Amino acid sequence: MGAQWKQKGREASAAAKGRVFTKLAKEIMVAARNGADPSMNPRLRMAVDAAKKASMTKDTLERAIKKGAGLLDEAVTYETVTYEGFAPNQVPVIVECLTDNRNRTSANVRLLFRKGQIGAAGSVSWDFNRLGQVEATPPGPGVDPEEAAIECGAQDLEAGEDGSTRFFTESGDVDIVSKALTERKWNVTSAQLIWKAKNPVTVDDAKRAEVEAFLEALDEDDDVQNLYVGLA
């Protein structure tokens, strides 16, 4: 695992899909503060692409952009707050939140960390690399991902799910690599900044189940935007 954690099957229920849309809309609003035109705003373009892939309606998407850009009356300001600590069995975790109420978020996250251990800033992130990650599927059989990585400027790669490849980039190159892959007819399914563990922890099945339950509880909080875990 070692990078971004995603709850398996979380899109299965209406409530879970609602949480996904809430997180996507927040990311769009935050990104739109730097401009409402996706062609001129790489972070917004990536957020819009993610929302479209999740089947967010056009009206909802456009409203989130306008809201974030300050083009509507109701102004909502979200800030990024990051927490570090350990899941059960000393598995390192970085929790990224987008919130309009830092006190509420802090109280909720600390409560959720009761089964783990919350730490100070830097207590875990030193063992992670801040990277760009572009996940994409090839245009057809026989396409060499390693060749694509070299041509598109990626620093590393690993196999993803369902035939996809994760391309890792310098933190400032994620949009460049995403565009280069798209030009070569790769289907880019996500492009974002991540925390990637340097030394993922290996645990047995019983301990992994404890870690997964802990992460699922965190993921269900509306303020939690992304989870990164050092789990092999």
How far is the C-alpha of 68 from the C-alpha of 25, rounded, in Å? Answer: 9
Q: What does the H/E/C string look like for 79-103?
A: EEEEEEEEEHHHEEEEEEEEECCHH
Domains detected in the chain: 4-68 (1.10.10.200)
Supply the mean pLDDT for the chain: 91
Residue 2 has pLDDT above 60, yes or no: no
Residue pair 118/85 in contact by the 8 Å Cβ criterion: yes
Q: Which 8-state DSSP code applies to residue 125?
A: G
Token duo for residue 7: 């709850």
pLDDT, position 3: 57
Place of tokens 């830092």: 102
Q: Copy the structure tokens of residue 137.
A: 């599927």
Task: Give the model's pLDDT for residue 89.
Answer: 96
The string of DSSP letters for 160-187 reads -STT-EEEEE-TT-HHHHHHHHHHTT-E
DSSP type of residue 4: E
Question: What tens digit of pLDDT does each residue of 61-82 get?
Answer: 999 999 999 888 776 789 999 9
Give the per-residue pLDDT at 88: 97
Residue length of the chain: 232
